[in-house]
Amino acid sequence: MTAPSLSGRKVLLIVGGGIAAYKALELIRLLKKADAEVMTVLTKAGAEFVTPMSLAALTGHPVRQALFMPEDETAMGHIELSRWADLVVVAPATAGLIAKAANGMADDLASTTLLATDKKVLLAPAMNVRMWLHPAVQANVARLKGFDGFHGMAVVGPDDGVMACGEFGPGRMAEPPVIFDAIARLLAGPDGRPLAGKTAVVTAGPTFEPIDPVRGLTNRSSGKQGYAVAAALAELGAQVTLISGPVALDAPVGVNRVWVEAATEMKAAVEAALPADIAVMSAAVADWRVDGVASGKIKKKPGGPPSLALIENPDILAGVSAPGPRRPKLVVGFAAETSDLEANARAKLSRKGCDWIVGNDVSDEVFGSDGNAVTLFTQDGAEPWPRQSKTEVARKLALRIADHFKA
């Protein structure tokens, strides 16, 4: 796919202090390749990771670092910087920069520019997983996204993965090509949020069907792919309701999460969230439940294990896909298969009545991992997507959904 041209567009890149600062160099290269003009602000902490010379060499402009520089401040340099740009990008956006922006603090060139700008701002957060998951950081990000008009900041990432500190989880800065795509979207149209005004329902995780108060039937699912889809749709402007089975994940920023346990609860929650424009049914819903849950723990007895009578759970995907006034305009199902992926996925597409099926082969190490290789099946054909992070799969699917509504 040809990269979009950003000819004539001006991007102000604020480089914060974090190990991910080195990725800013690759981001500049991508922007320049697309003919964008780039200027940079380098924080004091950022200069510990990348040099002003590197940034200046790639952008062709002097690097701004200090708030009080006579050659700049005689013309109120931070004001001119913020007015010059078509878009302000903060990469990496550290917890400190996010906190300053969320609370109107302006004690250096970067934070003053963010407060003075009248242009859209894109944040690419990067920090330790525990910092990212801290309620204060999550509250600051939610606050920035919720400001009215251009003051409402867009966010790309962060990704899940291994950190420089050795820990694992969300907090890694999005890769430069992903940030570039977000920049291109923001510069392409109204805030680059092609799904603004659309509503989406996403299901994720497993369901748990109780046998007795301490045991149950379930499917293997970490919920990571569904949560990533909900986050990606929200990034593109959709109003997202995430209906989640029991998982150990935090709700994506800006997404309304509804907790459920059993398949019947998930069905009721989905129906309550309709009508919607988009439905992405990625949950691993148990096919069966026990007919008659025991009121107390079933004890071991001589003669072997007890017999369990199973009844079929409601088919949530087929119900959502059924014709009617509350059917979403686009219904996407998921098919986790251990063999013959294409035949089984296409059969499911036809049987359920949905519009697309995302098929993935789960015979390999998929459950709980951060990567996935999938194929998107539509009425028009199949699109194999190579193995990539579940975040990238989600973003690609969200963009594909946005393209569908443009057509």
CA within 13 Å, CB half, 3: 18
Q: What is the pTM of this model?
A: 0.62
Could you tell me which CATH number the domain at 10-188 has? 3.40.50.1950
Residue by residue, DSSP assigns 101-166 as: HHTT---SHHHHHHHH--S-EEEEE---HHHHHSHHHHHHHHHHHHSSGGGSPEE--PEEEE-TTS
- Could you read off the pLDDT of 200-245 as tens digits, one per residue? 999 999 999 999 999 999 998 999 999 999 988 987 889 999 999 9
- Indicate the residue type of 286: A
Q: What is the mean predicted confidence (pLDDT) over 64-86?
A: 66
Residues taking part in catalysis: 165
- Orientation of helix 176-188 relative to helix 390-406, angle to 10°: 20
3-state per-residue secondary structure call for 189-234: CCCCCCCCCCEEEEEECECEEEEECCEEEECCCCCHHHHHHHHHHH
- Three-state secondary structure call for residue 335: strand
How far apart, in Å, do the first and last CA atoms of the chain sit?
Answer: 18
- Could you read off the pLDDT of 306-329 as tens digits, one per residue? 889 999 999 999 999 999 999 999
Asked if 10-188 and 199-406 have one fold, the answer is yes
Rounded CA-CA distance 388/377 in Å is: 18
Rounded CA-CA distance 331/353 in Å is: 9
- Could you read off the pLDDT of 159-182 as tens digits, one per residue? 877 666 677 778 889 899 889 988
- Could you read off the pLDDT of 106-152 as tens digits, one per residue? 888 899 888 888 888 899 999 988 899 899 999 999 888 877 766 77
Q: Which CATH superfamily is domain 199-406 in?
A: CoaB-like (3.40.50.10300)
Domain boundaries, the chain: 10-188, 199-406
